[in-house]
Amino acid sequence: MMPIILEKFPAFGPIWKKHLELWKGEEAGIYNDIAEFANFVVDACERRESESVTAAFSLIEEFLVEGDEEVRNAASIGFLEDVRNISAWRRFGPEPFIQRLGPQSKVAWAAIEEIWRGKTSLADVVRAEIRAEKKKE
């Protein structure tokens, strides 16, 4: 995913370089990597870089449609959930992103909304997931 993102979004390159330096050669993992891109896209929205935001959401839709399970999870739980949570703290909120969701992104966004319904923190989400897993046992 990251090579494709870097190719399509050259302005993300300097941010990516700093991210890699922070990890000092260690593997950050796809969710940490994609979180950097999510921050980049939310910041682009704040700078009113509409074309970049639209292009990012088109690419995420491609990942959701054409990617394997790992890519689809990173695109949805990684990127979309991060964008949702990051933008919730910005003056514009998630609305500019909701407007750009493709068909598969809409499905993933709705699932994320359901996961977060009634919860205010990631710890609440994790606790609910643990409870649900215990009930299955």
Average pLDDT score over residue span 30-34: 94
**pTM for this predicted structure:** 0.85
Tens of pLDDT, residue by residue over 97-117, are: 999 999 999 999 999 888 767
Residue 85 structural domain? 2-136
Under 8 Å CB-to-CB from 10, ≥6 apart: which residues?
none
pLDDT recorded at residue 136: 77
Number of domains in the chain: 1
Supply the DSSP string of the chain, one letter for each residue.
Answer: -HHHHHHH-GGGHHHHHHHHHHHTTS---HHHHHHHHHHHHHHHHHTT-HHHHHHHHHHHHHHHHHS-HHHHHIIIIIIIHHHHHHHTTSTTTTHHHHTT--HHHHHHHHHHHHHHTT--SHHHHHHHHHHHHHHH-
Tens of pLDDT, residue by residue over 116-137, are: 677 676 676 677 777 777 777 7
Treating both helix axes as pointing N-terminal to C-terminal, what angle do 50-66 and 30-46 enclose, rounded to 10 degrees?
Answer: 150
At 121, phi and psi to the nearest 5? -150, 160
Q: Is 90 exceeded by the pLDDT of residue 45? A: yes
